[in-house]
Chains A and B, each alone.
Chain A
């Protein structure tokens, strides 16, 4: 248990559905992240939020829409996804506003396993 929780743990959705992934961190951190983990590929950083403001958006398709209402919660809203979006979506948090700053470490949640049919 790292102090980062994600719900749901598994999700199956059709291409026309709308769903949301939720992440919550209980560590008092200021930065939160969404990653995509596909089979046999490196983890891909999708979004970074620092103090509830988006600071990084790595060319992610608009069918993924993040929301960070406060520093403890992060959502990933999904709509009209494609089968190739099936993957494990990981949330992480870190203490400070700059992920590459001194002594900065990211802590990961268990992930949401998403299957798009």
Chain B
């Protein structure tokens, strides 16, 4: 079964700083990849997803992620964070034609105004 690891448990940045959150997965076959965000007191929301095609995917709110198959990675990036980006970010992986989606433990992002 696939597994997901997120390298950072808590990241603290100042506004306008650049962000990169790491996500690595272990699975040898075809996968679908996701980043979800959970703002304080709110439900999990889809930020972006990769199924196929261009490995650089753009999501909402200026976020993007790059799928590097050789590194089994799907890192999340944003060039300039805002205070409103304070949230918990979850990377998720699901093997093709499988019902078992695996989540990373999450990375809490705190952006200082």
Q: Which residue of B lies closest to A43 (CB)?
A: B103
Count CB-based A-B contacts (< 8 Å): 65
With a CB–CB cut-off of 8 A, which chain B residues contact A43? 90, 92, 103
Partner of A2, one of B43, B52, B102: B43
Q: How far is the CB of B56 from chain A (nearest CB, A)?
A: 18
- The verdict on A55 contacting B102 (CB below 8 Å), with A104-B32, A110-B42 known, is no
Bound Cα distance A110, B38 (Å): 10
- Specify which of A42, A105, A106 lies most central, judged by the most chain B CB atoms within 10 Å of its CB: A42
Partner of A108, one of B9, B44, B51, B52: B44
User: Chain B interface (Cβ within 8 Å of chain A)?
Assistant: 4, 9, 32, 34, 36, 42-46, 49, 51-52, 90, 92, 94-106
User: Chain A interface (Cβ within 8 Å of chain B)?
Assistant: 2, 31, 33, 40-43, 45, 48, 50, 55-56, 58, 90, 98-111
